Amino acid sequence: MNQDRNSQISLKIPHSLISKVEECVEKFNFKDNSSFIRESIQVGIDFLNGKETFMKTPEDARKFLEKIEPQFNALKRNDAILTIYKDLTKEEQEAIFYQLDQQRRKTIVNELELKKRKEAAFRIGYEIEPKVGYIGKSGYNGFDDFFRPVRPSDNDWGLLTQDQKKTLLEELENKLYEIQLKHKDSEHQSLKQCIEEISQEIEKETKLENE
């Protein structure tokens, strides 16, 4: 099994470049010159491998920048933790790891809660975030803050353009199709009724426009 090993090599670097390295280490909060140089070499390799594509496709260049930023941030966090950690007592180290573990558990719980909310909203064609074509907040199955589709009887219906109404109808029809595939035992009657009301109202409004 291949493993990365640290090797020592000598580099000849102009003093002017060393000054720039030191400036970057301080500016971007790296642990030392070596950690900055290591990360810069890896980023440089990735950039050279993809620069032809970057010149032709700006979108790929943007994705490259989005990819390397977390790498830099993670490295800086690790360096900061190690720098602080080595000067702590055993009790302080254990306290930090306990807090980190608690935060990890909290993150997992929050992610599971969000997943449950999305699933509950999906089953009835609702949204968990504000969205064009959706209104108000309705609780369902123990969850609050769900946004339901705007119906023709709502005042907000008149605020939607015809294109927005048609987009909403198409979206709800797609939702119903997916729900029926994934949750055959779910109750679809309310969503079906909503779709029927919207479809009939759009048809009615279209006829009035054409008269």
* Pairwise pLDDT comparison (204 vs 109), residue with the higher score: 204
Would you tell me how many other CB atoms lie within 10 Å of the CB of residue 194? 21
**pTM, full prediction:** 0.51
Taking only the tens place, the pLDDT of each residue in 123-141 is 888 998 889 999 877 666 5
Mean pLDDT of the region 186-209: 88
pLDDT value of position 1: 41
The domain locations on the chain are: 15-87, 121-210
Mean pLDDT of the region 115-124: 86
pLDDT value of position 168: 95
pLDDT value of position 185: 62
pLDDT value of position 2: 44
Pairwise CA distance, residues 122 & 182, whole Å: 10
pLDDT value of position 3: 46
Taking only the tens place, the pLDDT of each residue in 166-196 is 999 999 999 999 888 887 666 678 899 999 9
pLDDT value of position 113: 86
Residue 85 has pLDDT above 70, yes or no: no
Taking only the tens place, the pLDDT of each residue in 2-61 is 445 555 666 666 666 777 777 777 776 677 777 767 766 666 666 655 555 655 566 655
**CA-wise closest residue to 176 among 149, 154, 155, 202:** 149
Q: Which helix (H) or strand (E) holds 179?
A: helix 162-182
Tell me the average pLDDT of the chain: 75
Lowest mean pLDDT among 66-70, 142-146, 184-188: 66-70
